[in-house]
Amino acid sequence: MYRKTVLAKKLLAAATGLLLTTFSGILSADDPFKIGFVYVGPVGDHGWTYRHDIGRQAIEAEFGDKVETTFVESVPEGADAERVIRKLASSGHGLIFTTSFGYMNPTVKVAKAFPKVKFEHATGYKRADNVSTYSARFYEGRAVLGTIAGMMTKTNTVGYIASFPIPEVVRGINAFTIAMRKVNPDATVKVVWVNTWYDPGKEADAAKALIDQGVDIVTQHTDSPAPLQVAQERGVMGFGQASDMSAFAPDAQLTSIIDNWDNYYVERARAAMDGSWASEDVWAGIDSGMVDFPEYGAMVPDDVKAAADVIKESIVDGSLHPFQGPIKDQSGKVIAEEGATIDDGTLLGMDFYVEGVQGTLPK
Amino acid sequence: MNETILLAILTIITAATPLVFAAIGELVVEKSGVLNLGVEGMMLVGAVSSFTAVHVTGSASLGVLAGMFAGVMLALIFAFLTLNLQSSQVATGLALTIFGIGVSALIGQPLIGVAYEGLPKVQIPVLSDIPVLGRLFFGHDILVYCSIALVIAVSWFLKRTRAGLILRAVGDSHDAAHALGYPVIRVRYLATLFGGGCAGLAGAYLSMAYAPMWVENMSAGRGWIALALVVFASWQPSRVLFGAYLFGGISILQLHAQASGTINIPSQLMSMLPYLATIIVLVLISRDQGRIRRNAPASIGKAFHPTT
């Protein structure tokens, strides 16, 4: 499970590992700064974990010999996580990224025992003097996708493959739907819950079911490119997830949301090394570059590209908030009046569908 | 609406085919008295090997062969450990799954992000054009037909041939079979390798037809469903086919129900249904001694030592 990343350093690290642990307090300035990563999935998932690992590689590319990164992949959320984080903290890592929501309590617990080590926990809400949290406003990206879908759907039904009914996913569905219906009030979204982040077969089946029910655009909040492949095969269109998936479906991917942690990771590593690191709560969006996009697919017409670009720019300059009123829920109840926006607190606990989403939200 | 039903059935066929392959292979293994819990691992190694072969050579048939070969190789390790070295079948099988997950991830590293357009479909000029039946029975990929042929062949082999009788004898009482002069170890070797080949084939189907790509751990528990299926089918080949289409059907119809917004069954319930059904079948057959005696291999999971 453990992999040292720089091959040349492997032997050296093994030989001096014991010494390093014992004398980690008196390391000279020439020793590389050690940064650890804990991943929930395999680095080869081509989705969530894959993108975090790209961020780790960005740190290596930026600082070269000055850093040494270690990652532990496929760490279950729970007791195992605490052991892994503790091991990283006790083996001389100065900065540790724990990249899944379920690592929250273990991270905070280990952080208490290692006040000098800095921790960065993704998508959580518990902080301490040496624990920061960070996440991306992926719903901003969903609003861009929704705009494209609204303009391009011919059947006025769009399929949404969803993983688990948690606020993060529900927020994405709602942001997508609101943006879609702004450009196409007749369009609706069909949601299929697959109860997995990652099962290419099941995701493909869900895509087929949606297409069979008449959707002509498929979007997803699961991690594999399988739904896009199905879209390609069936001659419909879709959006990638977490990374650019156009290689899997060159004729089907309209665009994608890319999780881009590179800048954030590099900056946090720099701050940890020069001593300016402080505990923060970061929830950044398109403007920070954390929510990124690849090139539009060749089938996207110019007017759609332009409209999508306007949405991106207005979100960046603050003139548009994806959850800007008027917003109604499924029953027609007004959630946000014209001109009002839904606040972050409600967004973080979102547990209802907005108007335009079909079906009922499983609870 | 008829069109939707037809399309749903076509999806069920793809969902069921890998289960058919893996389960029918494991059925033969278990009939010979060996319990190989490494199906998931063998499937993954089969999936990654076939995808590698397709990616390198561009030939779909070489891909399928590579998947089968990889499954056989993993089964060979299992057979050597359990049949020659008498290690525990349960523990070795579990280890084989974990090993398969790891080794497939290692082999698959350079394949992440590589695309493949999928196994070609068999189009028969006139027959495929018959309105409903044509699309139902023709126009699948070749492996779908293979899976059904395989079930028929295994059924025939176990019930109608002398070799099948010997295999069942070895599975029911290895001591008696040994006393009669049958090569217990060799029979179990062959059965285990056959099971490995089938699991590899199931994996090949996953990475070449079901979701044509390689991603780590892509079998996502289908190996375990296949193991459950064998028990669910109470070791009858035809029931394996039925069970695979039932399990596949339930999960697909559930997705359709969600997409159409008509029925609302919690999808978590659907994911546990295959295992629930298996537990119920287990309870039912253990209440009926006659049925166990008729179908379940009596010396399953027991180590055989020819000198004792």
Q: Which of A352, A354, A304, A356 is nearest to A186 (CA)?
A: A356
* One pLDDT digit (tens) per residue for chain B, 308 residues: 567 788 888 889 989 999 999 999 999 999 999 999 999 999 999 999 999 999 999 888 999 999 999 999 999 999 999 999 999 999 999 999 999 999 998 898 888 777 777 777 777 777 767 777 777 777 788 899 999 999 999 999 999 999 999 999 999 999 999 999 999 999 999 999 999 999 999 999 999 988 888 888 888 889 998 998 998 888 999 999 999 998 888 888 888 888 777 666 676 777 677 778 778 877 877 777 666 566 788 888 888 887 65
Question: Hey, is the C-beta of B4 within 8 angstroms of any chain A C-beta?
Answer: yes
Chain A residues close to B212, C-beta within 8 Å: 229
| Record: contact B220-A201, CB cut-off 8 A | yes
Q: Which of A248, A251, A258, A360 to mutate to test the interface with B (most CBs of B within 10 A)?
A: A248
Predicted pLDDT at A45? 74
Any bridge partners for residue A256, and if so which?
A: A240
CATH topology of domain A2-136: Rossmann fold (3.40.50)
The residue extents of the domains of chain B are 2-295
Q: What is the ipTM of this complex?
A: 0.78
Query: What value does the mean pLDDT take over residues A11-31?
Result: 46
Question: Hey, is the C-beta of B116 within 8 angstroms of any chain A C-beta?
Answer: no
d(CA A325, CA A289): 25
Chain B residues close to A224, C-beta within 8 Å: 211, 213, 215, 218
d(CA A5, CA A38): 14
Question: Hey, is the C-beta of B220 within 8 angstroms of any chain A C-beta?
Answer: yes
**Could you report the per-residue pLDDT of A181-192, keeping only the tens digit for each?**
999 999 999 999
The reply to whether A138-259+293-348 shares the fold of A2-136 is yes
| Record: contact A202-B220, CB cut-off 8 A | yes
Burial A268-303 (b: 16+ CB within 10 A, else e): bbebbbeeebeeeeeebbbebebbbbeebbeebeee
**Could you report the per-residue pLDDT of A265-308, keeping only the tens digit for each?**
999 999 999 999 999 999 999 999 999 999 999 999 999 999 99
Task: Give the pairing of strands A253-259 and A291-292.
Answer: antiparallel
Say whether domain A138-259+293-348 belongs to CATH 3.40.30.10: no
**Could you report the per-residue pLDDT of A172-229, keeping only the tens digit for each?**
999 999 999 999 999 999 999 988 888 888 999 999 999 988 999 999 999 888 999 9
Structure tokens at B4: 């939707």
Question: With contact defined as beta carbons under 8 Å apart, do B96 and B41 qualify?
Answer: yes
The residue extents of the domains of chain A are 2-136, 138-259+293-348
Strand order in the sheet with A188-193: A188-193, A157-162, A217-220, A237-242, A253-259, A291-292
Burial B111-146 (b: 16+ CB within 10 A, else e): bbbebbebbeeeeeeeeeeeeeeebeebbbbebbeb
d(CA A176, CA A157): 13
Any bridge partners for residue A71, and if so which?
A: A3, A37
CATH architecture of the domain B2-295 equals: Orthogonal Bundle (1.10)
- Strand positions, DSSP E, chain A: 2-4, 33-38, 67-72, 93-98, 118-122, 131-136, 157-162, 188-193, 217-220, 237-242, 253-259, 281-284, 291-292, 327-328, 334-336
Distance of CA A284 to the CA centre of its chain: 11
A 237-256 → B contacts, CB under 8 A: 247-249
Any bridge partners for residue A241, and if so which?
A: A257
